[in-house]
């Protein structure tokens, strides 16, 4: 349908609200780009099934997911991923598993949405392995491998040995007077002691840094030089082992890139469907009946953009005994709101959204909805506004078919006497 008519009926405002119910970037994108469709029964049934699941099971267990397209391409190129990236992919697996567990029902009870859940790929063993080996995006667990555990134990023991040697120095009567502070610190990944600048030559070793004031130099005593070398060698071995662990996990994810791609699409689609259901629930929406008789019968219909505690419901029926309906009344009497309510509720239904009305409300699927709904300026005040209305009506008369719905607000007929 023409965006111009969608905007006149404030359909864009419905989409803005709908987006707030989506959790993933895919779901939000689908909500932003949602357009009315001809496949109305299927879409409404999808939303209705999701609505019932929310009522039965509570909110969907879904949260934001990262865009992992580049990560999957890297895996397909046999590249290794970082711990942060692997956690992002693991979150995809966890979300898929949570959704699968959420939908623990007979598939036949939800024929229009069950396929999205049933096609989700889960891998509990890989999910568990990653979570046991990667504690957070910066930390690999000691138990990630026996070799890593052994290296870190050796690092810890060597660190203790180095600190003991340096503590002997800083607490000795011979050297303590040369120190700025009786502490052991680390500079350039080597254990050092802080020496007063004027005594820098009293403790033999290598200077690794100088304080900003220049009063302190950080010296690595010769007695711990080899031990520091051994410790740095162990740290290098640790990094090599960590890279091996990450590479091993990356290869396992690389083997399921197609499944992960499919999961991302399914998660986005599920999020989108349930965003529509959650929004429908928030406005107390119902699934209208679909008729083939060009009838509209909206019972206690409410404009969805007006506070549901303040809006005045209306009944509108057209198409059964008459095909044209004229609404009259004083200014601010609700005529424009009534027109917009009809058009907007139809557009929502065509998009798979349940509508705020009473049960037994019935709608017809028109091939197009045309609307000429503008402001209330008089023609004398704004000739350009009048011209715009005329051009719009001319366009409507050219494009409308016998299966179209036309909504005209403040229609004026000009008559020039002979």
317-341 pLDDT, tens per residue? 998 888 888 888 887 778 889 999 9
Q: What is the pTM of this model?
A: 0.87
Q: What is the mean pLDDT of residues 359-379?
A: 80
Assess whether pLDDT exceeds 50 at residue 376. no
Q: Which of 414, 415, 408 is nearest to 327 (CA)?
A: 408
Q: What is the pLDDT of residue 335?
A: 87
pLDDT tens digits for range 148-189: 999 999 999 999 999 999 999 999 988 889 998 999 999 999
Q: What is the pLDDT of residue 273?
A: 98
Q: Which CATH code for domain 146-242?
A: 1.10.1420.10
Q: What is the pLDDT of residue 138?
A: 93
CA atoms within 13 A on the CB side of 19: 14
Q: What is the pLDDT of residue 277?
A: 98
Q: What is d(CA 49, CA 115) in angstroms, rounded to the nearest whole number? A: 12
Q: What angle do CA 125, 75, 250 make, to 5 degrees?
A: 40
Q: What is the pLDDT of residue 230?
A: 97
- pLDDT category of residue 379 using cuts at 50, 70 and 90: very low
Q: Where are the domains of the chain?
A: 33-123+256-282, 146-242, 286-408
Q: What is the pLDDT of residue 386?
A: 65
- pLDDT category of residue 1 using cuts at 50, 70 and 90: confident
pLDDT tens digits for range 78-93: 999 999 999 999 999 9
pLDDT, mean over the chain: 92
Architecture of domain 286-408: 3-Layer(aba) Sandwich (3.40)
Pairing between β-strand 134-136 and β-strand 139-140 as defined by DSSP bridges: antiparallel
Q: What is d(CA 276, CA 128) in angstroms, rounded to the nearest whole number? A: 33
Nearest 10 degrees: Cα torsion 267, 269, 275, 276: -160
Check for a shared fold between 146-242 and 286-408. Answer: no
């Amino acid at each position: 349908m023409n965006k111009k008519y969608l905007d006149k009926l404030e359909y864009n405002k419905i989409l803005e609200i709908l987006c707030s119910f989506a959790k993933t970037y895919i779901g939000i994108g689908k909500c932003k780009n949602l357009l009315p469709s001809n496949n109305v029964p299927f879409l409404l049934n999808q939303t209705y099934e999701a609505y019932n699941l929310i009522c039965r099971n509570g909110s969907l267990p879904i949260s934001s997911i990262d865009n992992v397209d580049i990560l999957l391409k890297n895996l397909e190129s046999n590249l290794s991923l970082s711990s942060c990236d692997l956690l992002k992919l693991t979150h995809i697996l966890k979300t898929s598993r949570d959704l699968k567990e959420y939908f623990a029902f007979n598939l036949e009870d939800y024929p229009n949405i069950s396929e999205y859940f049933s096609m989700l790929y889960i891998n509990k063993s890989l999910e568990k392995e990653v979570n046991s080996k990667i504690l957070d995006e910066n930390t690999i667990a000691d138990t990630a491998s026996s070799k890593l555990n052994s290296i870190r134990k050796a690092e810890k023991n060597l660190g203790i040995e180095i600190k003991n040697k340096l503590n002997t120095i800083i607490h000795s009567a011979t050297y303590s007077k040369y120190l700025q502070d009786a502490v052991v610190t680390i500079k350039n990944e080597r254990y050092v002691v802080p020496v007063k600048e004027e005594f820098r030559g009293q403790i033999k070793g290598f200077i690794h840094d100088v304080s900003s004031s220049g009063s302190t130099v950080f010296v690595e005593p010769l007695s711990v030089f080899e031990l520091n070398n051994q410790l740095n060698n162990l740290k290098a071995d640790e990094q090599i082992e960590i890279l091996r662990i990450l590479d091993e996990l990356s290869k396992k994810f690389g083997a399921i890139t197609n499944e992960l791609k499919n999961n991302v699409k399914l998660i986005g689609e599920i999020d989108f469907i349930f965003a529509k259901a959650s929004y429908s629930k928030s406005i107390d929406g119902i699934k209208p009946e679909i008729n083939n008789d060009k009838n509209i019968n909206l019972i206690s219909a409410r404009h969805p953009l007006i506070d549901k505690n303040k809006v005045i419901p209306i009944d509108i029926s057209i198409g059964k005994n008459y095909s044209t309906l004229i609404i009259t009344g004083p200014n601010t009497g609700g005529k424009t709101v009534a027109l917009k309510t009809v058009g907007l509720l139809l557009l929502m239904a065509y998009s798979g959204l349940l509508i705020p009305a009473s049960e037994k409300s019935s709608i017809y699927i028109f091939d197009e909805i045309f609307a000429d709904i503008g402001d209330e300026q008089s023609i004398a005040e704004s000739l350009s506004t009048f011209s715009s209305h005329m051009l719009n009506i001319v366009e409507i008369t050219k494009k409308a078919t016998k299966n179209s719905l036309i909504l005209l607000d403040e229609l004026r007929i000009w008559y020039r006497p002979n």
